[in-house]
């Protein structure tokens, strides 16, 4: 059975031409807060440690102060934590996201009402033939 998608808004805030804050970086910050570990956060988000590290480095370079702190591994293991600024960044982003969703909800509902209904597809993934196409196809045989 096909999964029905609900229209959603994805917010990306371009703070400058070379720095953007969007759902991926915010999700990473949230998972770091929950797990206390960059590697665990990366695993839970299905991304490589390198990708997570690069995203986090980008976030930390975006602002005057870092969004996270890290401790080096060892026998007790390392870790990563959000700073107060990091928590405020997540909170501000989620507030902006909520405001955008509320502001756009009526227009999104209108777009949904205008959307073409999904057509039933055959097992091959193709749309079923129309009666005129069936006649034309049969005539070619």
Each residue of 12-49: pLDDT tens digit? 999 999 999 999 999 999 999 999 999 999 999 999 99
Domains of the chain with bracketed CATH: 13-116 (1.10.10.10)
- In angstroms, the CA 33 to CA 38 distance is 9
Per-residue confidence band for 132, with pLDDT thresholds at 50, 70 and 90: confident
Closest CA to 11 of 20, 26, 23: 23
How far does the chain reach from its first CA to its final CA, in angstroms?
34
Give 108's DSSP letter. Answer: H
Question: Tell me, what's the pLDDT at 116?
Answer: 80
pLDDT, tens digit, for every residue of 58-69?
999 999 999 999
* CB of 89 closer than 8 Å to CB of 29: yes
For residue 103, give both structure tokens: 């502001």
Mean residue pLDDT across the chain: 86
Question: Tell me, what's the pLDDT at 84?
Answer: 97
């Amino acid at each position: 059975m096909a999964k029905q998608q609900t229209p959603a808004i994805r917010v990306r805030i371009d703070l400058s031409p070379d720095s953007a804050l969007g759902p991926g970086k915010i999700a990473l910050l949230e998972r770091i807060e929950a797990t206390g570990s960059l590697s665990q956060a990366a695993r839970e988000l299905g991304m490589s440690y390198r990708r997570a590290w690069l995203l986090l480095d980008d976030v930390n370079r975006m602002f005057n102060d870092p969004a996270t702190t890290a401790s080096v591994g060892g026998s007790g293991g390392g870790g990563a934590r959000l700073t107060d600024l990091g928590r405020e960044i997540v909170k501000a982003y989620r507030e902006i996201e909520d405001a955008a969703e509320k502001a756009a909800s009526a227009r999104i509902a209108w777009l949904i009402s205008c959307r073409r209904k999904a057509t039933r597809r055959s097992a091959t993934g193709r749309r079923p033939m129309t009666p005129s196409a069936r006649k034309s196809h049969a005539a070619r045989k």
